[in-house]
Structure 1
Amino acid sequence: MSDNNTWFDETDWEIEGFSEEIGSGPPPVVAVVGRPNVGKSTLVNRILGRREAVVQDVPGVTRDRVSYDAVWIGRRFVVQDTGGWEPDAKGLQQLVAEQASVAMRTADAVVLVVDTVVGATAGDEAAARILRRSGKPVFLAANKVDSEKAEADAAALWSLGLGQPYAISAMHGRGVAELLDAVVSALPPAAESASRGEGPRRVALVGKPNVGKSSLLNRLAGDQRSVVHEVPGTTVDPVDSFIEMGGKVWRFVDTAGLRRKVRQASGHEYYAAVRTRGAIDAAEVAVVLVDAAEPLTEQDQRVLSMVIEAGRALVLAFNKWDLVDEERRYLLEREVDRDLVQVRWAQRVNISAKTGRAVHKLVPALEQALTSWDTRIPTGRLNAWITEVIAATPPPVRGGRQPRILFATQASARPPTFVLFTTGFLEAGYRRFLERRLRETFGFQGSPIRINVRMREKRGARPH
């Protein structure tokens, strides 16, 4: 890399909306919700396909939400498809309410899709009631409008109390542009989106059932005797607890459902997954509780994957330490080395919610993780560092040519996301090497890091 910037010609890259992306923080989130078979996924595909703006897709657990990056009239935002409900008749109302309440807490705007041919059902009305209370912008997409009769049916959906029904055909694209124009105009700037709200830092306590989440929350509230206040929702809404610890008020995003027995046993894992994902999405940092007395499980791994995919700061709390003897301690360390390689960077605290052991260590761990998550590295310093790193360890040769890293910048924080402009593909192993070196130099303890590579287009290869 030269000190002279003349080599960095931005016209070498085809990057839609890149200048907006740099330093803008997380994009706002639009959740698409509704009953099964109303056309949610078709609408999501229409939004993405029209602009060909899928940057990545992050699948969650089975039948959970899927998030996509999208661009419309120059605005970046994330579309959440809440597809995949397969409820029985009894569970429908509860399922609609679950999805709508999770969406309204984590999204900046919500699109409720209704099948115009069928008309408003009890499930649609239940979702509309919850969404009206959310205080978020809500848009009613009256889907499957392909005729004059359907236009009249769409007008009947004013009865849901969500304002103007946008008559659309997700299948054919009719009316979708007008809907998107309205949605995008209601979105906050990226820096003000839900994931960057002010006030107490938001913490999610997550983990497999019976790992001690409720016990820990009660211990934190009871020991401090300073629950500032509770914010109750409806019967299906989670309840957030404001707790003072270490001289600060923290907002614990609770997943009340994880403490409530669900009558439909078949749907239990689905409900738990929806609530866990909702808590993680609504938080800035997740405390993942693991039962230290038992071997690590696939469920533990799944919850950790959710946190990493969501890009949240992370504290690993090994609970029930009062039950861990010397032999178990030895086995646990081996399990951690073998199964938790992907989160070596996480803050780790060994606690007992039951006895109160080391619970006070959670505060410094949370603070360190959030500081890392918020960190920004100045572009000059980052490029000086990467020049040294690649001089000592150049990227591996690929196809007979060695890719060069021309320029690096930190696109956003929360989580720290870096963009490398290169002349060729960087192997996954080399990107992992760069992540390790970034952590060695700049810390980032307790926060995931994302590294995106943008390859320079060959001159003359662009379509005219």
Structure 2
Amino acid sequence: MTETAVPAVPTPTRTLPVVAVVGRPNVGKSTLVNRILGRREAVVQDVPGVTRDRVSYDADWNGRSFVLVDTGGWAPDAKGLAQQIAEQAEMAIAMADAVLLVVDGTVGTLDSDQAVVRVLRKSKKPVVLAVNKVDDQRTEAEASSMWNLGLGEPYPVSALHGRGSGDLLDAILDTLPPAPPIDYEAERGPRRIAIVGKPNVGKSSLLNKLAKQQRVVVDNVAGTTVDPVDELVEVDGQTYTFIDTAGIRRRVKEASGHEYYASLRTQGAIERAEVCVAVLDASQPLTEQDVRIMTSVEETGRALVIAYNKWDLTDEERRKYLSREVEQEVAPFAWASHVNISAMTGRHVDRLGPALQEALASWETRISTGKLNAFLGRIVAAHPHPVRSGKQPRILFGTQAQTSPPTFVLFTSGQLEPGYLRFVERRLREEFGFVGTPVHVEVRAREKRGKR
């Protein structure tokens, strides 16, 4: 089940930057996190040495959204201190676009503060220094002594009272990557649907049936349509721009003459669309071209609805063979909605509307960072990555980098096996739906630090 309904206009793709909050125990990290969020989310209690517990939240300031990761504090004991500091810092750096280092303004800098600063400085990641517990002007002068950490201007704040938090947030935003420009042109107009498939599978007939008029030429001669044709069509009360495309007869490099340019224009139509309706001829055996077209849609990152056309021409025996072909050939696209239709008679063409709505909603679904990491925590606990060569990579943190299509980035302690990645994707679909949309899962493994 998806979290969002289909909006009236396309949602721009956004990649949310990540800010990791690091520091010793009891410097007020969780209180500061709550202050930044503007709500009480983080538990205000620092337990030394809880290195595996990282909690992530969606934050917003001045119209900019970002992910805030609250990390456990470093234990102040001397035993194994360097290792603990390196482990925490590496994880924070691996996840973050910027690091917020929190120190206690009432006690000054300690050795553990200096040690983590050295690690952060080597990372070349932007670091913002927050001097917490500066509750009045009298203690503000003491905060200026933090210049000696060499991280630039220290920002005195009071997480408890909110003092100085606005200036701190402004400084954090200054360190983040610039927000991508919004393509307002792309936001206007109806949703774009491309009808794709081999020649003579009934793409133009389907468009005519949806438009309730003879909009495009239909002929049994394969390849009648060469140029993509746009048509505004209302389906279930929703207006879409349908793009009827020339049939993709064979690989672009094998095509010649007008077929070559038709194939290029068809690929352009796929890239211009938000959802592709792949039309297959149910009365004929599925072919390599059918699979290639659907693969192209998936690789381009577009939502997909599969329409088995000419259903009126199939008998019981053909449907039995078709079922077997679907199991074997179309299994990689089991996530797409399947609709059995007849463009000629109009049979079940009305089912395309709900399938398109569902695919668009899934394509634009955003899972909150907190909900995603709670889900990841559950599946990792129940099904940890297998041990290979004495090592067991762990998923440290995950975030949804973008929508359209949903793309997730997993920050890990090592490379994940392809089989385990497929397992995570399958469980993502079971948990959150994503019917009709590709789901991309990327891994960013923490770089190993060289031995000194």
1:359 to 332, 345, 349: 349
Rounded Cα–Cα distance in structure 1 between residues aligned with 2:93 and 2:246: 46
Listed one character per residue, the Cα deviations across residues 107-161 of structure 1 (whole Å, up to 9, x for unaligned) are xxxxxxxxxxxxxxxxxxxxxxxxxxxxxxxxxxxxxxxxxxxxxxxxxxxxxxx
TM-score under structure 1 normalisation?
0.56
SS class of match (1:330):
helix
Alignment of 1:88-107 (within 5 A): none
Which position in structure 2 is the counterpart of 1:132? none
Rounded Cα–Cα distance in structure 1 between residues aligned with 2:247 and 2:419: 40
Listed one character per residue, the Cα deviations across residues 342-393 of structure 1 (whole Å, up to 9, x for unaligned) are 1000001000000000000000000001100000000000000110101010
Rounded Cα–Cα distance in structure 2 between residues aligned with 1:353 and 1:460: 63
Alignment of 1:168-317 (within 5 A): 189-192=180-183, 196-222=186-212, 238-255=228-245, 266-317=256-307
- Return the offset for 1:268: 4.8
Rounded Cα–Cα distance in structure 2 between residues aligned with 1:17 and 1:405: 15
Alignment of 1:16-27 (within 5 A): none
**What letter is aligned with 2:365?**
T
SS class of match (1:273):
helix
Which position in structure 1 is the counterpart of 2:449? 459
Rounded Cα–Cα distance in structure 1 between residues aligned with 2:286 and 2:346: 22
Gaps of 5+ in 2: 1-51, 56-69, 73-86, 99-177, 216-224
Alignment of 1:426-445 (within 5 A): 426-445=416-435
1:337 to 327, 338, 341: 327
- Return the offset for 1:3: 4.9
Rounded Cα–Cα distance in structure 1 between residues aligned with 2:304 and 2:281: 16
Which position in structure 1 is the counterpart of 2:387? 397
Listed one character per residue, the Cα deviations across residues 145-195 of structure 1 (whole Å, up to 9, x for unaligned) are xxxxxxxxxxxxxxxxxxxxxxxxxxxxxxxxxxxxxxxxxx99354277x
- Contact persistence 2:306–2:336 (CA under 8 A): yes
* Pair member with larger Rg: 2
CA separation of 1:359 and 1:188: change in aligned 2, threshold 3 A:
farther
SS class of match (1:266):
coil
- Contact persistence 1:13–1:457 (CA under 8 A): no
**What letter is aligned with 1:246?**
D
CA separation of 1:265 and 1:2: change in aligned 2, threshold 3 A:
closer
**What letter is aligned with 1:192?**
D
Rounded Cα–Cα distance in structure 2 between residues aligned with 1:365 and 1:216: 15
CA separation of 1:209 and 1:201: change in aligned 2, threshold 3 A:
same
- Return the offset for 1:334: 0.5
- Return the offset for 1:399: 2.7
1:2 aligns with 2:67: no
- Return the offset for 1:199: 2.1
- Contact persistence 2:280–2:286 (CA under 8 A): yes
- Contact persistence 1:202–1:253 (CA under 8 A): yes
- Return the offset for 1:400: 1.5
Taking only aligned residues, the RMSD between alpha carbons, in angstroms, comes to 3.1
- Contact persistence 2:280–2:306 (CA under 8 A): yes
- Contact persistence 2:396–2:410 (CA under 8 A): yes
Which position in structure 2 is the counterpart of 1:117? none
1:381 to 367, 371, 377: 371
How many residues align? The count is 281
TM-score under structure 2 normalisation?
0.57
Rounded Cα–Cα distance in structure 2 between residues aligned with 1:17 and 1:3: 13
- Return the offset for 1:396: 1.6
SS class of match (2:387):
coil
Which position in structure 1 is the counterpart of 2:171? none
Listed one character per residue, the Cα deviations across residues 17-38 of structure 1 (whole Å, up to 9, x for unaligned) are 957xxxxxxxxxxxxxxxxxxx
Alignment of 1:106-185 (within 5 A): none
**What letter is aligned with 1:342?**
P
SS class of match (1:249):
strand
- Contact persistence 1:405–1:422 (CA under 8 A): yes
- Contact persistence 1:224–1:245 (CA under 8 A): no
SS class of match (1:439):
helix
Write out the 4+ residue segments of structure 1 that deviate beyond 4 Å after TM superposition. 7-19, 256-259
CA separation of 1:432 and 1:265: change in aligned 2, threshold 3 A:
closer
- Contact persistence 1:423–1:455 (CA under 8 A): yes
Listed one character per residue, the Cα deviations across residues 74-119 of structure 1 (whole Å, up to 9, x for unaligned) are xxxxxxxxxxxxxxxxxxxxxxxxxxxxxxxxxxxxxxxxxxxxxx
**What letter is aligned with 1:6?**
T
- Return the offset for 1:258: 7.3
**What letter is aligned with 2:401?**
A
CA separation of 1:427 and 1:319: change in aligned 2, threshold 3 A:
same
- Contact persistence 1:253–1:279 (CA under 8 A): yes
CA separation of 1:322 and 1:257: change in aligned 2, threshold 3 A:
closer
- Contact persistence 1:285–1:369 (CA under 8 A): yes
**What letter is aligned with 1:189?**
P
Which position in structure 2 is the counterpart of 1:34? none
Identity of aligned residues (%): 58
- Return the offset for 1:273: 2.3
Which position in structure 2 is the counterpart of 1:350? 340
Rounded Cα–Cα distance in structure 1 between residues aligned with 2:294 and 2:395: 31
CA separation of 1:316 and 1:461: change in aligned 2, threshold 3 A:
farther
